[in-house]
């Protein structure tokens, strides 16, 4: 018992000696003002507002190119809505178009943005792209009709169904991609594309064609199979673009 008390007293003396001596290393060093993790701010807040403005400008600059590419994909889907392919005709005629093949490209642009900047920027890309398209429809629809050789005017129901389906598919694909990114580089784009494709068809076809004479169940199944195949094929361009679109620090290089 006396030996234990002597050993315990020796440990307390050693700790007191370290603190009083101001030793700079070891786990017993006292934290000082230099150890603060936050950045000092003045009451004026000038540096804080300047930094916020700078960060906002940087975020907007980073989303410009992703928004442009996603907008181009939407424009291509709109332009080729009537360009049917000589496959998969039904009682209503040929329904498979080039737009169905462009849709996976739109998902690929979201994956690349997610790889480079993370899920918040990928989600901002979708929101900003829909905002740009909405502004064009509201204020420049007449000009767009003159520029297009053969404008296609989908119904309001189809447009609303597409927006809802793509928004849900993009959001879930962002979550799947960000959760699966890692050393196995192909899992994240594959899983993200599969989630995006299956979510899109599960939302779009019932909203667009439920209650009509269109055989939308068969089309939904065929389109889902095509999007799953496109998810596998999409790994190839993603692999080629990995060296160009490098992730920012903080994502582990994946």
Q: How confident is the model at residue 168 (pLDDT cuts 50, 70, 90)?
A: very high
pLDDT > 90 in the chain, percent: 54
Answer yes or no: are the C-beta atoms of 125 and 112 closer than 8 Å. no
**Is 128 found in the same domain as 18?**
no
pLDDT > 70 in the chain, percent: 75
**Is 76 found in the same domain as 17?**
no
Is 250 domain-assigned?
Answer: no
The predicted-structure confidence for 93-152, as pLDDT tens digits, reads as follows 678 899 999 999 999 999 999 999 999 999 999 999 999 999 988 887 676 666 555 556
Q: What is the mean pLDDT of the chain?
A: 82
**Is 167 found in the same domain as 73?**
yes
Q: So what's the pLDDT on residue 69?
A: 96
Residue 90 DSSP SS3: strand
Is 49 domain-assigned?
Answer: no
**Is 116 found in the same domain as 14?**
no
Is 43 domain-assigned?
Answer: no
Is 44 domain-assigned?
Answer: no
Is 47 domain-assigned?
Answer: no
**Is 72 found in the same domain as 20?**
no
Q: Which of 218, 205, 223 is nearest to 92 (CA)?
A: 218
Q: How confident is the model at residue 194 (pLDDT cuts 50, 70, 90)?
A: very high
Answer yes or no: are the C-beta atoms of 107 and 196 closer than 8 Å. yes
Q: So what's the pLDDT on residue 210?
A: 93
Is 39 domain-assigned?
Answer: no
**Is 131 found in the same domain as 207?**
yes
The model's pTM: 0.77
Burial class (CB in 10 A: 0-12, 13-18, 19+), 211: exposed
Q: Which of 133, 249, 157, 159 is nearest to 211 (CA)?
A: 157
How many domains does the chain divide into?
A: 2
Q: So what's the pLDDT on residue 85?
A: 84
Domain enclosing residue 173, as ranges:
64-241
- Predicted confidence (pLDDT) at residue 72 exceeds the cutoff of 60: yes
**Is 23 found in the same domain as 71?**
no
**Is 69 found in the same domain as 24?**
no
**Is 142 found in the same domain as 73?**
yes
**Is 199 found in the same domain as 141?**
yes
Is 46 domain-assigned?
Answer: no
**Is 71 found in the same domain as 18?**
no
């Amino acid at each position: 018992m006396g030996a234990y008390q002597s050993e315990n007293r020796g440990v307390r003396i050693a700790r007191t000696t370290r603190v009083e001596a101001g030793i700079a290393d070891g786990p017993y060093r006292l934290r000082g003002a230099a150890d603060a993790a936050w950045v000092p701010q003045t009451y004026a807040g000038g540096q804080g507002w300047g930094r916020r403005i700078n960060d906002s400008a940087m975020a907007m600059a980073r989303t410009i190119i992703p928004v442009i590419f996603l907008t181009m994909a939407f424009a291509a889907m709109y332009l080729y809505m009537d360009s049917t392919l000589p496959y998969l005709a039904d009682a209503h005629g040929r329904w498979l178009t080039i737009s169905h093949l462009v849709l996976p490209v739109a998902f690929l642009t979201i994956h690349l943005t997610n790889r480079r900047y993370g899920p918040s920027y990928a989600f901002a890309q979708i929101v900003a792209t829909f905002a740009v398209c909405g502004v064009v429809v509201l204020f420049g629809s007449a000009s767009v009709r003159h520029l297009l050789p053969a404008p296609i005017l989908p119904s309001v129901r189809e447009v609303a169904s597409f927006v809802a389906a793509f928004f849900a598919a993009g959001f879930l694909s962002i979550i799947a991609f960000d959760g699966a990114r890692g050393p196995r580089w192909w899992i994240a784009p594959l899983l993200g594309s599969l989630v995006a494709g299956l979510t899109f068809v599960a939302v779009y076809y019932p909203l667009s064609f439920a209650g009509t004479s269109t055989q939308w169940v068969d089309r939904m199944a065929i389109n889902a199979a095509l999007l799953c195949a496109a998810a596998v094929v999409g790994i190839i361009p993603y692999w080629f673009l990995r060296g160009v679109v490098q992730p920012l620090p903080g994502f582990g290089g994946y």
